């Protein structure tokens, strides 16, 4: 039986928090370079160039790529034959976030109560979603989520009769309303099906799928292509100042749902779409 000590988990999570906030993933960098090459607006080109320069400065100086270093969201896949030694998995994951945000000099943005709003001082607690699977592996995916874009996200309980057309309309409406305030060009995660909370969780995790990697279902891949093209046809552009690059990618996930419902969630993230994944 495989065993992993909690200190190993703490150290990995701390490193992942720092990495995610300091280095943008290769797929996002490639997407931004493509956007810069295709952008027709002079304002848009200048904005994209500034964004790319910012990433180089952050990498060279080992500083955050954005001042909003986010609230940490984790997706943890836990093998049922794995044994955690020295403490609980939950405690180790939270301790890793605290360590990473302290050692990386990352901004602490989490408040302990949504009304009293006293800062917790170490950016915990993280929001953690667990999936138990066969085997003895441990896979951790980290998404530090900034709230400029999070605040533009939305969820709607459509009727089954609304169908694909209703989903398209709601997603495009959310993009049109939210993208100017979400530091475009954005990435759009969409969850369709399940229950209210399942749709939202799918939309969140969809943001971690690399740009250009489509849903394996043919009709969903076609939906992703349509939404990307239609979103960029809105002309909102980088930072909402006009252009043809409003959205870098649309990732849609689906799940079985009830005969009486069609839940749809749209989770928007800015051009700093941070996601890091490791398997221990």
CATH of the domain at 111: 3.30.360
The average confidence (pLDDT) of the chain is 97
Domain span at 186: 148-274
The pLDDT of residue 156: 98
pLDDT tens digits for range 129-149: 999 999 999 999 999 999 999
Are 219 and 263 in a shared domain?
yes
Please check whether residue 166 lies inside any domain of the structure: yes
pLDDT digits over 214-243, tens only? 999 999 999 999 999 999 999 999 999 999
Q: Is 57 helix (H, G, I), strand (E, B) or coil?
A: helix
Q: What does the pLDDT read at residue 275?
A: 96
Q: Is the pLDDT of residue 1 over 90?
A: no
Which DSSP letter does residue 151 get? T
- The answer to the question of residue 257 being in a domain is yes
Domain assignment present for 34: no
Per-residue pLDDT tens over the stretch 8-45: 999 999 999 999 999 999 999 999 999 999 999 999 99
For residue 78, give the nearest of 132, 14, 157, 146 by alpha carbon.
Answer: 132
Alpha-carbon distance 239 to 243, whole Å? Answer: 9
Looking at the fold, whether 130 and 232 belong to one and the same domain comes out as no
Percent share of the chain, pLDDT over 70: 100
pLDDT in the model for residue 204? 98
| Number of structural domains the chain divides into | 2
Residue 106 lies in a domain: yes
Percent of the chain with pLDDT over 90: 100
Closest CA to 264 of 188, 187, 186: 188
Regarding whether 12 and 140 lie in a shared domain, the answer is yes
Is the same domain home to 138 and 255?
no
Distance of CA 164 to the CA centre of its chain: 24
Both 250 and 195 in one domain: the answer is yes
Determine the pLDDT at residue 96.
98
Residue 131 sits in the same domain as residue 152: no
Specify whether 268 is located in the same domain as 153.
Answer: yes
Three-state DSSP at 65 gives coil
Mean pLDDT of 86-91: 96
- The pLDDT of residue 224: 98
Last residue of a domain, one of 145, 160, 181: 145
Last residue of a domain, one of 145, 171, 193: 145
The whole-number pLDDT of residue 157 equals: 98
């Amino acid at each position: 039986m495989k065993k992993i000590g909690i200190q190993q988990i703490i150290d990995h999570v701390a490193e992942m928090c720092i990495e995610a906030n300091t280095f943008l993933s290769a797929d996002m960098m490639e997407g931004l370079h493509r956007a810069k090459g295709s952008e027709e607006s002079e304002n848009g080109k200048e904005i994209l160039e500034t964004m790319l320069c910012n990433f180089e400065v952050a990498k060279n100086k080992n500083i955050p790529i954005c001042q909003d270093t986010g609230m940490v969201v984790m997706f943890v896949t836990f093998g049922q034959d794995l044994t955690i030694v020295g403490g609980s998995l939950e405690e180790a994951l939270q301790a890793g976030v605290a360590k990473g945000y302290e050692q990386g000099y990352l901004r602490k943005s989490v408040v302990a109560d949504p009304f009293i709003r006293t800062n917790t001082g170490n950016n915990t607690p993280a929001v953690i979603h667990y999936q138990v699977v066969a085997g003895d592996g441990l896979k951790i995916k980290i998404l530090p989520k900034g709230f400029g874009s999070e605040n533009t996200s939305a969820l709607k309980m459509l009727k089954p009769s609304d169908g694909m057309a209703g989903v398209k309309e709601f997603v495009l409406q959310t993009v049109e309303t939210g993208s100017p305030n979400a530091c475009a060009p954005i990435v759009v995660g969409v969850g369709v099906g399940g229950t209210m909370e399942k749709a939202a969780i799918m939309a969140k995790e969809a943001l971690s799928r690399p740009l250009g990697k489509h849903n394996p279902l043919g009709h969903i891949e076609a939906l992703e292509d349509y939404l990307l093209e239609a979103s960029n046809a809105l002309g909102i552009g980088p930072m909402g100042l006009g252009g043809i690059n409003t959205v870098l990618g649309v990732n849609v996930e689906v799940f079985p749902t009830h005969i009486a419902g069609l839940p749809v969630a749209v989770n928007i993230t800015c051009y700093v779409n941070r996601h890091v994944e490791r398997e221990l």
